[in-house]
Each structure stands twice: as C-alpha cells, then as structure tokens.
Amino acid sequence: MEGNLEHIANTVERLQGGGITVSIFVDPDPAQVKAAKEAGSDSIEIHTGLYAEAKTEKDQRAEYKKIVEAAQLAQNLGLRVNAGHGLNYKNVKPIASIPGIEELNIGHSIVARAVLVGMERAVKEMKELLK
Amino acid sequence: MAVKLGVNIDHVATVREARKTVEPEPIAAAVLAELGGADGITIHLRADRRHIKDRDLRLLRQVVKTKLNLEMAATEGMIKIALEVKPDQVTLVPEKPNEVTTE
C-alpha cells in the first residue's frame, strides 16, 4: 500500500460515498495498519498467511504475536478488525480468541471440506470452532 | 461475542472453471453456507476473472441475505463495478498475476 496512499484514500472515499463499508487487507505490520487508517478505511483485514504457513511452533508464535499487536493497534486507531488467509479447522481457534477481531474470512479449508461433507456441514463445523 | 465467519466461495467457482462449465454453482454454495450459519459471503472478483465472474457478483448481490464482501483491486474498472453492484463491504487487496490465493 505504501507509495499509493493517495490513490487508495481516493478509492476508499468513492466507495464509502456509494454507501459501501471499506476494509483493507494488510500484513500484521504497524506501518500498514497506520496507512489503512490514514487512507480512511473503516476496517482492516489482517493477513494470517504467515501464521498459517509457519513451519515451526516458534515461528508461529512470533507471527501470532504480530497479529495480536496489529489487532490492538487497529482498535486503538478506531479501525474494525477482521482477519483471514490460510485459516483452517486446526489453526483457527487461537486467531478466533484474539480480542477485537470481529470476523474471519475463510475460503479454501471450508470449500475443501465441503467437497467431502457438503457446504452446510462444513460451515457448521467451522462455526462450532468459533464459539 | 463469538467471532463472525465470512465464507469465501471462490474455489467453488474454481472447480466450475476447471471445465468452463456451469457447475458447481457458486450461488447455491452461498445459500448453503448461509444455511450452515455463515455470517457473510466473500468473493474475489479478479482482473483475470479466473474463478468468480461478474454474473456471480450480480446474482450474489440479489441472493445473499447476510453480508456480501467483495475483495478487489483498487482499479478504476473494479471501483465502477462495486459502485454499481453495491456489495455491503469492499476489501481492497493487492493483486499480482501469479499469486495462488482465494483472498
């Protein structure tokens, strides 16, 4: 997002002018969270891909901490917080428990499970994990 | 309060596009996801239209009763489509030609 903040801010304003809520997909990086705020966004969606793909527990803990801190910063700035990318039935619970995260966007793992058990059941099972 | 779940159905369209045919139907997937308790439906309309198509977005706008979240790049063409179709939310995402993602 760096370098084209003006373009993003203009886009956000036009979309909001049409009555659309705007979120910006960002890495769990304080600079990107602040840039989303500067661009006038209503929300951010924190990229959980590095957390999901971490090969060691240590790496995963480090990525998790970044997500927690980004969520906290965003809340302090008055942004609403969503998260997503790479989340599945095994790794979703710690992310779902982070204070301030309102919504998770999950695609691949649910569609993959839906192929085997059906979409309705796949969604129900994920919802159970978010309780 | 429990965290909400937005279900991204891009890969239902990916299977359809594997054969350039009409099934599986992403609109049906969205309805079933809502019946399963989804709080929202998310799709990414990409510049190359590799999975979700414009007709999917337009039909989903009429069918989705929860919240329709459109992921898109901040291009002029996409902004015009969003302002016309009016999803509940737009999530601005970077888009690179070779990335493998639903997001």
The DSSP result for A42-101, as a single string, is SEEEEE-HHHHH-SSHHHHHHHHHHHHHHHHHHHHTT-EEEEESS--TTTHHHHHTSTTE
Which pLDDT score, from 0 to 100, does residue B94 have? 84
A15 touches B at CB < 8 Å: yes
The answer to whether residue B96 scores a pLDDT higher than 70 is no
Give the pLDDT score at B103: 42
Those of residues 40-69 in B touching chain A at CB distance below 8 A are 40, 42, 69
Closest by Cα among A45, A64, A54 to A106:
A45
H helix runs in chain B, sequence order: 10-18, 26-35, 54-63, 76-85
Q: What is the pLDDT of residues B46-91, one digit of tens each?
A: 999 999 999 999 999 999 999 999 999 999 999 999 999 999 999 9
B99 pLDDT tier (thresholds 50, 70, 90): low
Instruction: Give Dmax (Cα) for chain A.
Output: 46
Smallest Cα distance from B102 to chain A, Å: 7
- Asked if B73 contacts B95 with a C-beta cutoff of 8 angstroms, the reply is yes
Asked if A45 and A83 touch (Cβ cutoff 8 Å), the reply is: yes
Torsion of CA B41, A91, A27, B83, to 10 degrees: 0
Does the distance separating the beta carbons of A18 and B82 come in below 8 Å?
Answer: yes
Burial B49-81 (b: 16+ CB within 10 A, else e): eebbbeebbeebeeebebbbbbbbbbeeebbeb
Asked whether the whole model's pTM tops 0.90, one would answer yes
Q: What is the pLDDT of residue B102?
A: 45
**Per-residue model confidence (pLDDT) at position B1:** 73
ipTM: 0.96
Contact list in A for residue B82 (CB cut-off 8 A) is 15, 18, 20
Contact criterion met (CB < 8 Å) for B11 and A108: yes
Give contacts of A 51-110 with B, CB under 8 A: 82, 84-85, 96, 101-108, 110
Q: How confident is the model at residue B95 (pLDDT cuts 50, 70, 90)?
A: confident
Contact at 8 Å (CB) between B60 and B27? yes
A38: enclosing H helix or E strand: helix A30-38
Nearest CA in chain A to B42: A105
CA distance B12 to chain A (A): 7
User: Rounded CA gap, A21 and A25, in Å?
Assistant: 13
The answer to whether the Cβ–Cβ distance between B4 and A102 falls below 8 Å is yes
Q: How far is B20 from chain A (nearest CA, A)?
A: 18
Residue of A1, A6, A45, A47 to mutate for B, most B C-beta atoms under 10 A? A45
Distance (Å, whole) CA B47 – CA A115: 26
What tens digit of pLDDT does each residue of B1-44 get? 799 999 999 999 999 999 999 999 999 999 999 999 999 999 99
- In order along its 131 residues, chain A shows pLDDT tens digits of 555 899 999 999 999 999 999 999 999 999 999 999 999 999 999 999 999 999 999 999 999 999 999 999 999 999 999 999 999 999 999 999 999 999 999 999 999 999 999 999 999 999 999 99
Residues B97, B79: Cα–Cα separation, whole Å: 19
Query: Which helix (H) or strand (E) covers residue A13, if one does?
Result: helix A5-17
Contact between A108 and B51 (Cβ < 8 Å): no
